[in-house]
Structure 1
C-alpha cells in the first residue's frame, strides 16, 4: 500500500507563499491515507472456445478487446462475424470502469446486455473525459450462429469497455506541446494514447492541432498542410525519425519553433533518446531550439516582523523593510521564473515589487483578492466581477470582465505557471472552481479569458485553490469531519488527500508531489511520499 503524507515543518515565524515545496527540515508529523498499489499487468487475449454460450462469448470478447492494442485487435475480431469485423471501430472510444466493479452480463436468446458503471471516457484524440459521478452504461451485443453452429457477435457498439487497471497497463499519459503566443514557452495539452506506437500518436496529434479547451491560449509552428507520409514515426536505436511533408519552413525562427514542439513532445516516449526531423527533405538536425523560461518554483516569499522576505534556497533575505510595505501587508506571492516580480496586498492596494525596485502601488480598490503572478510578470487579482491585471513596467493596468454576467461573484484567480490557464473561484464557502484558457497578444499581454469549464472538487466548504504545474488544479476543502486536498489533473481522475485541520492556504510546485499547506501561524505542511 502506498502512503500519502503531509509532513509538518516548523518554519520561521512568517507567512509563506511558494510555487514549489519548501526546502526545509524540522520535526515531522505525518498525516496518512492508504491507497492501493496498481499491479503490473500483461494483457493477452485468447480466441473463442467452441461451444461457448452467448454470454461467455461476450465476456471473453471484452477480455480480448481489452488486450487488443497489443495485436491490433486481431484476437478480439475472431469473436465477430465477417460483417461485424468490417464495421466495428474499437478506437471510437474507451469506456473505463473502476477495478472494484465488474460488468454485469445478462443473456436473452442471441442478445447479451452488458451493464457497467463508467467513470471515465477517452476519445479518439486522446482526451480524457472525467465523469462527475459514475454513469451506468448499457451495451447490447447481438449474436448469431455461424455455419459451424458457433455463436459470434454480429452487431455491437463501437469502442472498448475496460477496467481502470487494464487501461493503465496499455495507455500512457503524455503532453502534446504547443507554443505560447509570445513563442517563448511551451504549453502542455495532456492526452492519453496507447503505449504501443506512442510516438506516432503524439506526432499525429501535433499535426491535428490543440484541443478546443486550450486552443485560444496557444499557437503552433507545425507547417501548414503537414502530414506524415507513412502515418507513423520510425524509432531505431532510440532515435525517432520524423518526416513531415507540407509547407516548407524557410526561416530559422520557424524551424526552431517547429523543432522545439516536436522534440519536446516526442522525448516523452520512453524508447526515444533523440529526435531527427526533416521538413520536405530539409534536415533540422543542426537547428537550435529555444531554452525556454528559467523556472524558479522552489523560491519562497513571506512577510516577517522585519518585512518582505525572499528565500531562493540560500536562506531568507530581507527584500523590503516592513516600514515600506504600507498598512496591513498580507498575501505575498512570487512568480514562477527567476526574474519574477513579487506582489502583496497592503490595505486596499495591490503592490508590486522587484528585487531591483522599490514597492509600487499598481491598483487600489477594496476587497482585492490574493494576487497571482504569471511567467511574464503580469500580476492578477479580482475585485467583484472584474479581473485586474497589472505590470510593474506599464502605466495602466488591464481590466478584464468576468466570464459571467450573473451568478456568484468572482473571488479569486490563479494563473498557471506557463500563463496559459486560469483557475477561477466563484462564491464563498460553497464556492465553485473553474478553469479557462487565457487569451494573449503576441507580446504576452492578457486580452481576455475563454469560456470556463467547471472542475469537480467534491463536497465541502471551499477554502483555497491553486496550481501544481500547468495541468493540475489544487483545492483545499473542509469536509464534514476532515479538511482535504483534491488534485484535479485535467487528464485523470481526481485524487483526494487528507489535510491537517488548521491548514487554510494551498500552493504547489512543478508537480502534484510538491504541495504546500499553510496554517497562517508559521506552521507549514509539505506533502511527502508518492
Structure 2
C-alpha cells in the first residue's frame, strides 16, 4: 500500500518536471538534451535491416538498434516505413528497459482487419529514463507499448506506428552512453558537487564538446536550486577544439564582469568535468585571453583541494554507540567527557565532519531529546520533545576549520527537522518542507550528503534521495525531486550512508541483499559479498577513502569494496552501531 502511494506521489512530481538501399547519416551527433555540435559531421552508411524479418523480430530489432544513437537514432529509423522515417518525432527522453523484454502479437480482437498489418505489443519493465537534461531518472514501471507493423511493397515488414520515446535495453544503454559527472558548487561553500549525466559515447573525439555543452546548460532539474553555478552567465565563443601541441581549447564569453575568485571556480568546474573524458591540458580562454589571469592551461593537479570541506579528516577514526556510551572506532575506548562516561544515556550520535562537534540523541523517561555541542561535552539540550529521533546528520561547515552551524534529524518518523545555531549560540529547531515524502510513510533514516546538497532517506523501508533547496534568504528549506532508488530490489533498508558525493552504501534486513552500493541516480545496484555476515544488518557507515563498517546480528565487520570478504572489525562489540564523521 505504501509503495503504491509512494509511486503515485513521485510519478506526479516527476511529471511536473519533465515536461530502400542504405541511408547516409552523420557519424557525430548528440543526445537530444545536448546542443548539436557546430562542425558539419562526416557521414557513414547505415545498412537496411535483414530481409524477411517477421513483425515480432522487426519490433525487437528496432529496440536493439537504439544502441546506435547517431543522427537522431537513424539505425532505429531503418525499421520504419519510408513515411515513418521522415515523420517520426520521438520525444526528448530515452526509456531504458530491462534486457529481458518480449514482443508478442496483440489479441485477435485488437488486430487490424487488413492482413498486411499486425499489432505487436512490446512488453518489459523500465529501469528508468534519460531525461531532457541528460540525467537518469529511475523507475520500475511496467512497459506495454503497442506497435503497428505493415507489410511494404517490397515484401518487408516495417513499423508504421512507432513508440513516442526511444527505447533501449540496459546493457545497450551502457554501451551507447557514457556517464560523466559535471560539477557545480555547494550553495554556501567551495565543495564541488557532482551532477551525473549521460552522453553519447561515440565518437570519443566529441566527448569533451558534449561535456562542455552540458556544463554550460547548468545543473540538472533534480539539482536546480540546490547548487551554485559560477558558469551561469558563460557561453562558448566558438568550438571546443584540440591544438597541435596537445591542448584542448575552451573559448568562453560572457564572463568578463565576474570576479577573480569566481573565475577560479569556473576553471575548477571545467577541469573537473573534463577530466573524465580527456587527458589533455585544458586551455581556458575568456574573450580570447586567459580566463584566470596568469594561467591559461590547467590540469586537475593545478586545482585546490575543493573536496577537503566535504571529506572527513583522515585522523578521525570514527565512533560507535554501544550500551548508552560513545566509543572510538579506532581504540574501542569510551571517548573523553560525559557521553563516554555514562553521564548521558546515548541512543545515537553524529560527529561533525571536522570532528569538532557532537550531536546526541539521548534517551529520556518520556522518549528522547537532542543534545548538540562541542566534542567532549554533554552538549546543549534542544527544545524539541519527541518519542523518537533518527540518528543526527551534520551539514558541513562553510570553511575548512570552521564549525558547522546546522544538523538534521527526523522526529517521530514524519517531521524532518533542521537545527541551526543562532547568533547567541542557542540551537534552534525548524521543520524542513518534506511534504512529498512524509505523507507517504515513516522516515526511519536520513543522511545529508557531506556537501550538503542532497539527502538520502529510508521511507517505508525504501531508499529515497532528494535535493536540498534553500530559500534565497535562508529562512526555509525544502526537499525537492524525491526519487526511489532500486525499489524493486531494496524494500527493507535499515541504514544508509554516503561513500562518496554521488554513491550510497545501504544495509538491509534482507538476507538476499544485506549490503549494496547504489549510485545517486539509481541506475545500477552492486551487491556486496555476504560471506561472514549474519542477518539482519543493523547499521552501516561509509566515507570517502574509508573501509565500510557494517553492524550485523553478531557485531561489526569491515570491507573495502564490492566482492571483498567481510573481516571482523578489531573493535567489534555486540549491539555497537558505527559512524564516521558527517
Taking structure 2 as the reference length, the TM-score comes to 0.68
1:160 aligns with 2:181: no
Partner of 1:418: 451
What does residue 252 of structure 1 align with? Answer: 260
Residues 297 and 94 from structure 1, CA distance in 2 versus in 1: closer, same or farther, beyond 3 angstroms? farther
CA, structure 1 residues 358+280, in 2 after alignment: closer, same or farther (shift >3 Å)? same
Q: Is the 8 A contact 2:392 2:408 kept in 1?
A: yes
Q: Which residue of 385, 396, 407 maps to 1:379?
A: 407
Which one of the candidate residues 469, 482, 494 is aligned to 2:500? 469
**Aligned-residue offset at 1:416:** 1.0
Bigger fraction of residues in helix: 2
Instruction: Tell me whether 1:369 sits opposite 2:390 in the alignment.
Output: yes
CA distance in 1, matches of 2:145, 2:159: 19
Q: Cα distance, 1:441 vs. partner? A: 6.7
Report which stretch shifted further, 90-99 or 102-111: 102-111
Give the structure 1 partner of residue 371 of structure 2.
351
The residue number in structure 1 matching 2:67 is 66
Task: Write the deviation string for residues 185-235 of structure 1: whole angstroms up to 9, x where unpaired.
Answer: 1222211222233322322222222222221211211142624634x5658
1:255, distance to aligned residue in structure 2 (A): 0.7
- Aligned-partner Cα distance in 1 for 2:307–2:422: 19
Matches within 5 A, 1:104-183: 104=104, 109-111=116-118, 113=120, 115-120=122-127, 121-142=129-150, 144-145=152-153, 156-157=162-163, 159-183=165-189
Q: Secondary structure at the match of 2:220?
A: coil
Moved more, 72-81 or 205-214: 72-81
Q: Which residue of 1 aligns with 2:305?
A: 291
| Structure 2 residue aligned with 1:218 | 227
SS at match of 1:278: strand
| Cα deviation, residue 459, structure 1 | 6.5
Deviation of 1:448 after TM superposition, in Å, equals 0.9
Task: Give, in angstroms, the shift of residue 504 of structure 1.
Answer: 0.7
Does the aligned pair in 1 maintain the 2:458–2:493 contact within 8 Å?
Answer: no
Aligned residues: 472
Give the match's secondary structure for 2:434.
Answer: coil
- Provide the residue aligned with 2:351 in structure 1: 334
Take 2:334 and 2:517, find their aligned partners in 1: how far apart are those partners? Answer: 33
Map residues 19-98 of structure 1 onto 2, 5 A cutoff. 47-48=47-48, 51-53=51-53, 55=55, 60-69=61-70, 73=73, 83-88=83-88, 92-98=92-98
Please say if residues 240 and 272 of structure 1, whose CA atoms lie closer than 8 Å, have aligned partners that are also in contact: no
The separation in 2 between residues aligned to 1:509 and 1:134, in whole angstroms, is 35
CA contact (8 A) 1:468 1:474 kept: yes
- Name the CA shift for 1:125/1:131 in 2 (closer, same or farther; >3 Å): same
Higher strand share: 1
Instruction: Please state whether the residue corresponding to 1:260 is helix, strand or coil.
Output: helix
Residue 257 of structure 1 aligns to a residue whose secondary structure is helix
Shift of 1:83: 4.7
Q: Which residue of the other structure, out of 435, 460, 473, is the alignment partner of 2:465?
A: 435
Q: Hey, what's the Cα distance between the residues in 1 that align with 2:392 and 2:163?
A: 49
1:78-129 CA deviation, whole Å, 9 max, x = no partner? 5556654444457833333333445457896255635131423223422223
The CA distance in 1 between the partners of 2:170 and 2:120, in whole Å, is: 21
- Equivalent residue, structure 1, for 2:36: none
- TM-score (ref. length: structure 1): 0.74
The answer (yes or no) to whether the contact 2:100–2:124 under 8 Å persists in 1 is no
> Distance between the aligned counterparts of 2:306 and 2:182, measured in 1?
16
1:156 is displaced (CA, Å) by 3.3
Change (3 A) 1:439 1:283: same
State the SS of the aligned residue for 1:259: helix
- Residues 465-485 of structure 1 show CA distances to partners (whole Å, capped at 9, x for unaligned) of 333323344443334x65633
1:355-395 Cα distance to aligned partner (Å, 9 max, x none)? 5x644225153433311123222322232325142449832
How far apart in 1 are the matches of 2:225 and 2:537? Answer: 35
Q: Pick from 524, 529, 536: which aligns with 1:493? A: 524
Select 1:399's aligned residue among 430, 433, 437: 430
Q: RMSD value over aligned CA atoms?
A: 4.0
Moved more, 396-405 or 85-94: 85-94
Q: Residue deviations 1:256-287, cap 9 Å, x none?
A: 12111121111121x33432222222322617
Q: For 1:50 and 1:382, how far apart are their aligned partners in 2?
A: 59
Distance 2:161 2:324 in 1: 74
Structure 1, unaligned runs of 5 or more: 1-43
- The equivalent residue for 1:268 is 276
How far did 1:131 drift?
A: 2.0
Instruction: Give, in angstroms, the shift of residue 175 of structure 1.
Output: 1.4
Residues in 2 aligned to 1:383 and 1:414: alpha-carbon distance in whole angstroms: 14
Would you say the 8 A contact 1:504–1:518 is kept in 2?
yes
